[in-house]
Amino acid sequence: MLTVVIPTLNAAGTLVPVLSSLVPGVISGLVKQLVVVDGGSHDETLDIADAAGGDIVRAKGGRGGQLAAGADAARGEWLLFLHADTLLEPGWEHEVRRFIEETQVSGDAERAAVFRFRLDDRGAWPRLLERIVGLRYWLMALPYGDQGLLISRAFYERLGGYSALPLMEDVDLVRRIGRRHLTRLAHTATTSADRYRREGYPRRMARNALCLTLYAAGVSLARIKRLYG
C-alpha cells in the first residue's frame, strides 16, 4: 500500500533512528517498500539501508532529482517522502492509514498530507521556529520539506512529480498541490536541529526566509543555492 522514499547523502548518523521509527508501519502491514535514494554517500549510509531491506537507488543532482528517482522506483499506491534526519512520532502509522482509507472512501484521490513540524532541541528558539512554521502553513499552506509528504501515486503523477531542482523542490511541488488538497496531520515529524545549532538559529532562520523570498521573486536557483549553503 505505502512506499517510503528517503533521499540520503552521508546520512549514517541519523538514518538508523529514522528507519526505526518506520518499524511500526512495517509490522502493521502499512509500509510495503522502503526506497533509499543516495546522492553519493561515502559513509555507512548504504550499508544501513541495505541491512534494513531497502531498495537502493543512486541518483545525483540534488534532492529534487533524488526524490523523483525514488518515486520512479516505488511500487506502492501511496508514497511517503521523508528526510533522512526526520523521525515520525509513535502512532503515526494509524493516522496515515486512516487518512488513506478516508481518501479511498470519499473517492477524492487528489489529497496529500504533511506532519506537524518539530525540532529535536530545547529552548526558546526551536519552539519559536516551530510556531513560525505552523503559522507559515496556516497562512500560505506552505510546509517545510522536513514535515514529510504523503500523497497517492496517482495524484503525484498527475501533478508531474518532483522537479529535478537543486533546492526548493518541496515548495515547487506543494504549490502545485494547492491549499485545498493539503492536510496537516496531528502527529509530528521531529527533524534534526543540527544545522540551526551549528549556524545559530537567527542566522539560519533569516537565511531560509531570504531564500524563499528570492525564489518567489524569480531569482535563479543557482544563485539561491550559493546563499543557502
pLDDT of residue 119: 98
The verdict on residue 219 lying in a domain is: no
pLDDT tens, per residue, the chain with 229 residues: 899 999 999 999 999 999 999 999 999 999 999 999 999 999 999 999 999 999 999 998 688 999 999 999 999 999 999 999 999 999 999 999 999 999 988 878 899 999 999 999 999 999 999 999 999 999 999 999 999 999 999 999 999 999 988 889 999 999 999 999 999 999 999 999 999 999 999 999 999 999 999 998 999 888 888 877 6
Residue 98 pLDDT? 97
Q: Is 213 part of a structural domain of the chain?
A: no
Question: Does 205 reside within a domain?
Answer: no
Residue 31: per-residue pLDDT: 97
The domain that holds 93 is classified in CATH as 3.90.550.10
Tell whether 207 is covered by a domain: no
Let me know if 91 is exposed, middle or buried by CB neighbors in 10 A (0-12, 13-18, 19+). exposed
pLDDT at 9: 95
> What is the C-alpha separation between 186 and 27, in angstroms, rounded?
21
127 within a domain of the structure (yes/no): yes
Asked if residue 178 belongs to a domain, the reply is yes
Vertex 103: Cα angle to 17 and 190 (nearest 5): 20
Total domain count, the chain: 1
| Grid cell at residue 190 | 521531529
Reduced to 3 states (helix: H, G, I; strand: E, B; else coil), residue 217 is: coil
Residue 228 lies in a domain: no
For residue 177, tell me if it sits in a domain: yes
Could you tell me the sign of the dihedral formed by the alpha carbons of 31, 167, 11, 118, in that order? negative
